[in-house]
Chains A and B, each alone.
Chain A
Amino acid sequence: MNFQAGKDTLKRKFDTVGTRTPRPDGLDKVTGRAQFGADLTAPGMLWGMILRSPHAHARIKSIDTSKAEAVNGVHAVVTSRDFGPCPDDVLDIRENVMARGKVLYDGHAVAAVAATSRSAARQALKLIKVDYKVLPHVTDVDEAMKPSAPILNRKLFTKGLDKTPRKPSNIAERFEFGHGDVEAGMKQADLVIERTFKTEATHQGYIEPNACLANMGSDGRADLWCCTQGHFMVRQVCSALLGMDASALRVTASEIGGGFGGKTTVFVEPVALALSLKASRPVKIVMSRSEVLRASGPTSSTSIDVRIGMKKDGTITAGDATLRYQGGAFPGSAVPYGAMAAFACYDLKAVRAVGYDVIANRPKQAAYRAPGAPMAAYAVESVVDELCKELNLDPLDVRLKNASSDGSKASYGPNFDVIGLRATLEAAKAHPHYKARLKPNQGRGVACGFWFNFGGETSVSLNVSADGTIGLSVGTPDIGGSRASIGNMAAEELGVPHDKVRCIIADTASLGYNDVTDGSRVTFASGLAAINAARDAIGKMCERAAGIWGIPVDAVTWEDGAARPSSPNAGNHEPLTLADIAAQAGATGGPISGHCEINAEGAGVSFATHLVDTEVDPDTGYVKILRYTVFQDAGKAIHPSYVEGQFQGGAVQGIGWALNEEYIYGEDGKLQNPGFLDYRIPVASDLPMIDAVIVEVPNPGHPYGVRGVGETSIVPPLAAISNSVSSAAGVRMTQLPMSPPRLLKALGRI
């Protein structure tokens, strides 16, 4: 069967797809019954807690756990000694979950205990004696790159240079993307603007702290329950860290209370397993909010130079960017993605983006929604905006003039397939928001954003029950309603009502491997796999019908939920519905299931255009978001409500990043705001309604045209808001967040 879409598939009329059906996990979630990471208990369970470094950078001279072990109720204490050798690709994770020899950031784990009560565990933590030799530290990206900076890792030599340097440095790697002659392009410009931008680190800010329940026996088998974006990833990493067979560890994904990329790695899970092994009891670990902020992955802080040349008519002649991202104490920041995405919205003859991956004394960064792209888009879209202002050009017209379109060569290499950037720009231009009048101290900002989207390894199993209902098992944790959209695609393909399909997230023992819920891949890839599994089951049901009718299988077709003779020549048979065939399954050959195991190709890239109006209070520096409209290409919106939800949620996270949120480090290298009071994410009273306009330019790589929608929505807001505020304040802002003190300073008020 052909799994790629034909043109007619994309135009087909849908029954279930595109409707706003109730979600399968809805009732549990409004009644408090849904079980999240911290909600499960096991008989004999112990409470695990983690001791964390109070220093940004220090050598661990010794750890004495004897007093902690003697506390009544304590059953296990672990340190790095309890994590043995492991494969190279998880070495950094091993060091991040339990410091070895050195602590590299404030909050780095150094030891853990498991006890019968939380109070006993807390008491034990206080009795662990760690002897530190404090070392000089560095937390700022530009400082960390200086030759004089304290070096975190003497074995780190910059990769990606023509010659490998002889001295270690905090620069882990250099990347470069682009094509054409940038300098020649700049010479053709009527105006070249160059600016430097800085953005602070932000946290994904999921409301559910990381949590898990581990149960490991002395036979080396274990069950692990945790809130994660990828339980197969958890199985892989944890079994490698603990030296177990992968299949000896069964991981079940709990309901997940937000992740946004932050739960694509492990923090407490291997520690809970090690404690459980040592104590021979189940162990639960739940991070506190301050642990989440100090020790789970935030995004990078960045420093970015951008230079763009433009002709008087708005043609961009060349783009050039240098991006420096610190990704915490280990290599692996999202700077390559940032560099690749920086100019992706523009069809340029000459473009270059250079990225530096830098380490510093901060928690190891984790993915955060379109990792690396929002900061890059912020810098590029700010300069484009300034050029438009200087040359007196309309910012949407200039973007339409230079926009990437079908077939154009992307700044990061490949040629685009069918894309929807232009459609989002045209939708923005036609929207009443763009023509609405502004008052004094108000400004309007425009920006575009791009994200790659991803397919990846996916395994789905679809079981037809004897009563004609469907059990659909997928292996990608549902982070925002994906069970509804995947179930609806299976229902659509089978031709049954949506409520006859129950979609669940199966554990790691019950399905083949699935990549993490990331890269906006789930509705695309698990959806594709569910459609394929449905087609597999349909093929089998057609065989059963053929058997019942005594005709060849190729004389049977599937239409509207029933097997039918494909032509009058095939005989006069009443259609057999899915339920009819299911009821006879036992007599016609046994259970009917459909499967799909793929590495999904064909994810369609995604673009968005955001419009935002803000008002700046020149006396206080307070910025009010007056109006916000998102225009994004969804390919095909399977469940429009949850597509809108992704648009709105991403925009608001971007608003937080642009205006309030930042990791604030003191001179001592300690995080000064590890709580929701001081790390302030947007609240309901900060915001207007967020208008979401769904643009649909079908992705040719998916049978229904789906593109991932989860991430692109956070790419434009930083720039759109900065452009809006700069226009309202009459001064170009080049640093995020635009908190009141920073804005007052830019206005010359303080």
Chain B
Amino acid sequence: MFQIHVSTSINGDDTEFSCEADETLLDVLRDRLGLTGSKEGCGTGDCGACSVIVDGRLVCSCLMLGAEAQGREIETIEGMANGSELHPLQQKFLDHAALQCGVCTPGFLVAAKSLLERNDNPTEEEVRYWLAGNLCRCTGYDKIVRAVLDTAKEMRKSPKTKKTAAKKRVKA
């Protein structure tokens, strides 16, 4: 079948791939690039398990075509930690036991990161509405919301984590 050649950047790495015209970005990430951290919970934009950041915007990668990645900067869960140093959100999700099965976790982390980049002091309600596009069936969201609020608090206290996060963004 006819394939499209695409040059893009994924987690700061220049990346080339070919894909069929109807392949989603999620298919490409998972099946062509081996980046299986993004999950497919629905394939229709309803669960957020496939969340990635494209040019700074939070996107369901199941709703974007692989071919549309041309020339963009894409961040996935695999790029969230800085080497062995976890992003504060990742650490807080562990501390708060904000995951049970963990299949929704990559999507929540990516979405929450995108929230905190826009709003470093969200209310509980803002967190709940921002994350309303991410489904979790295990936790009832309680510990997830607490983890996000706690991360925001800590990141406000410690400008260093903020800076590292910002630096990473620029690099990406």
- Asked if A481 and B97 sit within 8 Å, CB to CB, the answer is yes
Flag whether B102 is at the interface (Cβ < 8 A).
yes
Q: Judge if A668 is at the interface, Cβ distance under 8 Å.
A: no
Which one of A31-39, A320-328, A440-448, A454-462 is at the B interface?
Answer: A31-39
- The residues of A that contact B128 with a CB separation of less than 8 Å are 684-685, 687
Say yes or no: B100 contacts A684, CB within 8 Å: no
| A207 near B46: Cβ-Cβ < 8 Å | no
Task: Tell me if B116 is interfacial: C-beta within 8 Å of chain A.
Answer: no
Q: B132 contacts A683, CB within 8 Å?
A: yes
Question: Which residues of B in the span 135-162 have a Cβ within 8 Å of any Cβ on A?
Answer: 135-146
Q: How far is the CB of B27 from chain A (nearest CB, A)?
A: 8
State how many angstroms separate the Cβ of A732 from the closest Cβ of chain B.
Answer: 27
Contacting residue for B142 out of A33, A258, A648, A677, CB 8 A: A648
Binding-face segment, A21-29, A243-251, A545-553:
A21-29
- With A289-B43, A684-B134, A687-B128 already in contact, the answer to whether A32 and B36 are too (CB < 8 A) is yes
Q: Does A32 lie within 8 Å of B38, measured CB to CB?
A: yes
Q: Is the CB of B37 within 8 A of A258?
A: no
A206, A286, A644, A645: residue with the most chain B Cβ atoms closer than 10 Å: A645
In the complex, chain B residues whose CB is within 8 Å of the CB of A704:
none
Pick the contact of A677 from B44, B97, B143 — CB < 8 Å? B44
Asked if A354 is at the interface of the complex by the 8 Å CB criterion, the answer is: no
Q: Which of these binds chain A: B63-71, B75-83, B163-171? A: B75-83
Please tell me the number of chain A residues within 8 Å of chain B, measured between CB atoms: 60
How many residues of B are in contact with the other chain, CB < 8 A? 61
Q: Does A607 count as interface, using CB distance less than 8 angstroms?
A: no
Measured between C-beta atoms, what is the minimum distance from B55 to chain A in Å? 20
Question: Which chain A residue lies CB-closest to B44?
Answer: A675
* Contact yes or no, B103 A687, CB < 8 A: no
Within residues 34 to 59 of chain A, which ones have a CB less than 8 A from any CB in chain B?
34-36, 38-39, 41
Beta-carbon contacts under 8 Å, A277-305 to B = 286, 288-289
What does the 1/0 interface line of B34-73 toward A look like (CB < 8 Å)? 1111111111101101000000000000000000000000
Q: Is A480 a contact of B100 with CB atoms below 8 Å?
A: yes
CA distance A653 to B22 in the complex (A): 35
**Residues in B whose Cβ lies below 8 Å from that of A22:** 94-95
Query: In the bound complex, do residue B103 and residue A208 qualify as a contact, i.e. CB atoms below 8 Å apart?
Result: yes
By a CB distance below 8 angstroms, the chain A residues around B46 are 289, 675-677
Contacts of A205 in B (CB 8 A): 137
Complex contact B78–A31 (CB within 8 A): yes
Whether the Cβ atoms of B141 and A645 lie closer than 8 Å is: no
Of all chain A residues, the one with the shortest Cβ separation from B141 is A684
CB of A477, distance to nearest CB on chain B (Å): 10
Select B102's contact among A34, A206, A644, A684, beta carbons within 8 Å: A34
Complex contact A288–B135 (CB within 8 A) = no
B36 engages A39 (CB within 8 Å): yes
Contacts of B134 in A (CB 8 A): 683-684
Is A38 within 8 A of B81, CB to CB? no
Give the complex CA separation of A260 and B143 in angstroms.
19
A690 touches B (CB below 8 Å): yes
Q: How far is the CA of A681 from the CA of B47 in the complex (A)?
A: 10
Is B74's beta carbon under 8 Å from chain A?
no
Please report B residues at the A interface, Cβ cutoff 8 Å.
1, 20, 22, 27, 30-31, 34-44, 46-47, 49, 76-78, 80-81, 86, 90, 93-97, 99-106, 109, 125, 127-129, 131-146
**8 A–B contacts, CB within 8 A, in A order:** A30-B109, A34-B102, A255-B101, A286-B40, A645-B143, A684-B131, A689-B142, A689-B145
